Amino acid sequence: MGLVRHVVCAMSGGVDSSVAALLLKRRGYRVTGVFMKNWDSLDESGVCSAEKDCEDAYRVCQSLDIPFHQVSYVKEYWHEVFSNLLKEYEKGRTPNPDILCNKHIKFNHFQKYAINTLGADAMATGHYARTSQEDDEVFQQPRTAPPPTLFRDRFEIRNPVRLYKGADLLKDQTFFLSQISQDALRQTMFPLAGLTKEFVKKIAAEAGFDHVLKKKESMGICFVGERNFENFILEYLEPKPGNFVCIEDGTVLGTHKGWFTLTLGQRARIGGQKEAMFVVDKDVATGDVFVAPTTNHPSLFRDTVRTDRFHWLAVDPPPELVRTQMMECHFRFIHQMPLIPCTVTLNMDGTVWISLSQPVRALTPGQFAVLYKGDECLGSGKIIQLGPSEYTLQKGRERLGAAAAQQKEQPTPEPSS
């Protein structure tokens, strides 16, 4: 019998990672389940949800007869994800902790623990995503990372592992994996790549994983849970009261506790207003939060964004983009939003401008612009700048029109002899 490969599966206590571990075991691998704890918290009733999840993961490993470990990254999570999150909120941005957690914790610290400490040949997760590698190829990757040299091995760059959408397009989670490193991608297996969520649930039911099937899907920021976000963030940031200002006429409509408690596009709770007002912009310098009536006000729609240095999953930008500085592809900045056709322009410093085929509601600085070409997820960049809103452009056109009309009315001066 040949060598039995050792795969470490990240176990969350949910149905997806439980079925991932089951499938790996069925394929004949030696599997170890590991539960990762990132946050110390009790919910309202004083129950630590992480403890319950850990217990669920342990029960699955017991029923599969595989070893179980738990590892804590509470300190790393605080320093590398959460403190970054607070800094972003203070700058008036709205960060995405799930993308950052995958980048810094699961596909970095946890991955190194799996490969280096537990001596695994590969790591696996329950994400709905697919790579360009067959499982056997994962094991042919060098176990240790190559030394960082000025000139990377061109072969390695010519043959990067690519990330593709999972078969279940509704559940596809490539969005959340868009910032992970090429090295991490090379050493990861996604057992659920070709499956739909419905089929995964069926496998779990047949395997008797009733305790994980009963759980509801975890949505929202893992550490906030069901709590009110404003109350949560004010535990960590000093309140910075400011005014709600109407974008249309500049009137002050009320006050808020800090611009970081609000995100673009959300409804602003302002007393005494006849119609609902929505957050359309923030001025971090003055503390003003601009609001507009109606959920689809033109000041909420924009069609261009600029990102910071873009993270290409294949390391190098696509050849056509390098060659012509421009490329057509698709964009999303929220998981599961419909993909939008766009044109990408590559800047000299590695940042990109993205022009969308149609204006999009509530594009938000701090969120990630994730790009797709067909089924391939190319990577992502953090949105750091927005183009003008439809409202600003409308106003500009009106002013130009008024100026042109004024010029027409003025009599042309007689040429002096």
Tell me the CB-side half-sphere exposure of residue 279, using CA atoms within 13 A. Answer: 26
- With respect to residue 347, please indicate whether it lies within any of the assigned structural domains: yes
* Same domain flag for 28 and 89: yes
For residue 382, is pLDDT > 90? Answer: yes
For residue 145, is pLDDT > 60? Answer: no
For the ranges 17-31, 262-276, 307-321, 396-410, the lowest mean pLDDT is seen at 396-410
How much is the pLDDT for 335?
A: 94
How much is the pLDDT for 52?
A: 87
How much is the pLDDT for 141?
A: 73
For residue 417, is pLDDT > 60? Answer: no
Neighbours of 243 (CB within 10 A): 17
* Same domain flag for 30 and 168: yes
How much is the pLDDT for 330?
A: 98
Q: In Å, how far are 396, 399, 401, 416 from 407, measured between CA atoms?
A: 17, 12, 10, 20
Rounded Cα gap, residues 303 and 268, in angstroms: 23
Digit-coded pLDDT (tens) for 30-63: 999 999 998 876 655 556 678 889 999 999 999 9
**Can 222 be counted among the known catalytic residues?**
yes
Rounded Cα gap, residues 61 and 71, in angstroms: 15
The CATH number of whichever domain residue 309 belongs to comes to 2.40.30.10
Spot the catalytic one: 61, 101, 342, 377. 101
Mean pLDDT of the chain: 91
For residue 85, is pLDDT > 70? Answer: yes
- With respect to residue 1, please indicate whether it lies within any of the assigned structural domains: no
For residue 221, is pLDDT > 70? Answer: no
* Same domain flag for 189 and 44: yes
How much is the pLDDT for 343?
A: 98
What one-character-per-residue DSSP string does 83-119 give? HHHHHHHHTT----HHHHHIIIIIIIIIHHIIIIIS-
For residue 138, is pLDDT > 80? Answer: yes
* Same domain flag for 370 and 251: no
* Same domain flag for 32 and 117: yes
How much is the pLDDT for 208?
A: 96
Provide the token pair at 382.
């953090």
Digit-coded pLDDT (tens) for 8-33: 999 999 999 999 999 999 999 999 99
Strand-pairing partners, residue 312, are 379
How much is the pLDDT for 50?
A: 81
Domain count, the chain: 3
Tell me the CB-side half-sphere exposure of residue 276, using CA atoms within 13 A. Answer: 8
**Can 101 be counted among the known catalytic residues?**
yes
Rounded Cα gap, residues 367 and 249, in angstroms: 29
- With respect to residue 260, please indicate whether it lies within any of the assigned structural domains: yes
Q: What is the mean pLDDT of residues 189-197?
A: 97
* Same domain flag for 42 and 164: yes
H helix runs in 209-264, sequence order: 210-213, 229-233
For the ranges 8-17, 230-239, 323-332, the lowest mean pLDDT is seen at 230-239
Q: What is the mean pLDDT of residues 272-291?
A: 94
How much is the pLDDT for 261?
A: 93
* Same domain flag for 58 and 36: yes
The CATH number of whichever domain residue 281 belongs to comes to 2.30.30.280
Rounded Cα gap, residues 93 and 175, in angstroms: 19
For residue 416, is pLDDT > 70? Answer: no
The CATH number of whichever domain residue 13 belongs to comes to 3.40.50.620
Which residue range is the domain that position 259 belongs to? 238-295
* Same domain flag for 136 and 199: yes
Q: Which helix (H) or strand (E) holds 242?
A: strand 242-246
Q: What is the mean pLDDT of residues 171-175?
A: 97
Spot the catalytic one: 222, 329, 342, 377. 222
**Euclidean distance between the first and final Cα of the chain, in Å?**
107
* Same domain flag for 90 and 179: yes
Rounded Cα gap, residues 84 and 90, in angstroms: 10
How much is the pLDDT for 1?
A: 46
